[in-house]
Structure 1
Amino acid sequence: MFRMIEDVLPPEAVAELVQIAATSKFVDGRVSNPHSRVKNNTQLHEQGAAERVGQVVARALLGNREFFDIAFPKAIAPPILARYEPQMNYGLHPDAAMMQTPTGALRSDLSCTVFLNDPASYDGGALRVQLGSGEMRFKGRPGSAVVYPSMTLHEVEPVTRGQRLVAITFIQSRIADPVKRDLLYELNEVAALEGNNMLPENFSRLQAVQFNLMRRWTDHP
């Protein structure tokens, strides 16, 4: 499942995060991945500011219905504010399968990038996801987010002008299997779009399928 979600963050939240970035200390991005040979960016490294970024982004994501319906989130890693200046990039890589967070280990099923500045203000810097011999590229408007499978090979292409500012996080889904997760999302969408057009008894049967698949496929609460 690849999904661009618009307006995850309202303008005032975007402005707050941009202001935090402008007034806070950033360090080499490899502080969170010291063995990486392809990571070339900077990230926020002030505890109070980082905690505020995490609160704003996590609350917005978990309060967004489209994100919730896509991800079936069980846990979300503390979001990180990352910055790319000219000549910076993040080479082709998969995201780690298991991550340590303040609340324990998290399995990364989905990755999420929240865009914070105007894509016209910088050149390059697209999130490129490799799909076999094909690819997808994303550069979103401020406040938008892209959700994609953590198991994919992906990269941030070199920035050649301006500054790319994003928040990134990782999600453990209640449905680990990506095929099952996508099937249930589609089933839920059809039920939401067409349920009012169905006979009540047929809609009840459809709901039984939805709920029983959730019981079979989700992790324990």
Structure 2
Amino acid sequence: MLLHVPQVLTAEALERCRTLLTTAEWADGRVTAGSQSGQVKNNRQLPENSAAAREAGALVLDGLNKSPMFLTGALPKKIYPPLFNRYDGDANAFGNHIDNAMRHSAQSGQWIRTDLSATLFLANPDEYDGGELIVEDTFGTQSIKLPAGDLILYPSSSVHRVEAVTRGARLASFFWIESMIRDDAQRRLLFNLDMSILAIREKDGDTAPAVQLTGCYHNLLRMWADA
């Protein structure tokens, strides 16, 4: 499932993140790359333990926790502490790769299985040329370039890349999610069911069928969840 989650960050949180990233010191992005992806990765990244990364990461996590669509779509069990990257100048692209299946967080000391990958855009599309996130999976090849503050969620098993930035700077946060629902098809079914229930409740209220469908949702979640 490919899911666009709008306005994860408030205007104030977005402005603060952009300020932190504008004044931060950047490092070679290959520091978090695997053996294959390191060969095609050419960008810059905030050091994970820098003060700027920690403050901006807390803002991102706060936004995620307040986003019903993100929580419903991801059903997160663990979230890797958000990282931040920059594409511009000579460090401007990331070739085709698949994310590592497991990630170890230096901040939490935990291993996280990467069921879902997320990119939260922090620069508006008119601020840079190129920089599209290209995701290839069963849903076809998708080219993604979202407004600042919006997030794209996609399976970590997808082949993806970032096209070269030819003008301006592409700023983003990226991270991975271990979901309570490991299987993408099950997660998509639960998301569609939940969205349908919300639409029915908004139109007709808490009718008996709405309550029954809600029960089906939670019983499926109870059956499939690894919490």
Normalising by the smaller structure, the TM-score range is over 0.9
TM-score, reference length from structure 1:
0.93
* Aligned AA (2:226): D
Secondary structure of the residue aligned to 1:129 is strand
Q: What is the alpha-carbon distance in structure 1 between the residues aligned to residue 135 and residue 206 of structure 2?
A: 42
Secondary structure of the residue aligned to 1:52 is helix
Which whole-Å deviations, capped at 9, do the CAs of 1:32-86 have from their partners, x for residues lacking one?
1263101100001262111111101111112111111111011110111100013
Which whole-Å deviations, capped at 9, do the CAs of 1:65-121 have from their partners, x for residues lacking one?
111111101111011110001341010011111100133110111111111112111
Greater alpha carbon shift after TM alignment, 103-112 vs 201-210: 201-210
Work out the percentage of aligned pairs sharing the same amino acid. 35
- 2:79 aligned residue: 76
TM-score, reference length from structure 2:
0.91
* Correspondence for 1:65 among 68, 76, 86: 68
* Correspondence for 1:137 among 138, 143, 163: 143
In the alignment, structure 1 segments of 5+ residues that lack a partner are none
Distance 1:43 1:190, change over 3 A: same
Greater alpha carbon shift after TM alignment, 91-100 vs 3-12: 3-12
Q: What is the alpha-carbon distance in structure 2 between the residues aligned to residue 133 and residue 117 of structure 1?
A: 26
Greater alpha carbon shift after TM alignment, 192-201 vs 62-71: 192-201
Is 1:99 the counterpart of 2:106? The answer is: no
* Correspondence for 1:122 among 103, 125, 128: 128
Is 1:212 the counterpart of 2:212? The answer is: no
Secondary structure of the residue aligned to 2:141 is strand
Q: How does 1:18-33 map to 2 (within 5 A)?
A: 18-33=18-33
Q: What is the alpha-carbon distance in structure 2 between the residues aligned to residue 60 and residue 98 of structure 1?
A: 24
- 2:200 aligned residue: 194
Q: What is the alpha-carbon distance in structure 2 between the residues aligned to residue 204 and residue 130 of structure 1?
A: 37
Once superposed, what is the RMSD of the aligned Cα atoms?
1.7
Distance 1:132 1:205, change over 3 A: closer
- 1:16 aligned residue: 16
- 2:5 aligned residue: 5
Report if the CA contact (8 A) 2:129-2:165 is conserved.
yes
Is 1:38 the counterpart of 2:71? The answer is: no
Distance 1:93 1:143, change over 3 A: same
* Correspondence for 1:149 among 139, 145, 155: 155
Report if the CA contact (8 A) 1:9-1:143 is conserved.
yes
- 1:109 aligned residue: 115
How many Å apart are 1:199 and its aligned residue?
8.0
Aligned residues: 220
Q: What is the alpha-carbon distance in structure 1 between the residues aligned to residue 134 and residue 190 of structure 2?
A: 26
* Aligned AA (1:205): Q
Secondary structure of the residue aligned to 1:86 is coil
Q: What is the alpha-carbon distance in structure 1 between the residues aligned to residue 210 and residue 11 of structure 2?
A: 39
- 1:179 aligned residue: 185
Q: What is the alpha-carbon distance in structure 2 between the residues aligned to residue 216 and residue 34 of structure 1?
A: 34
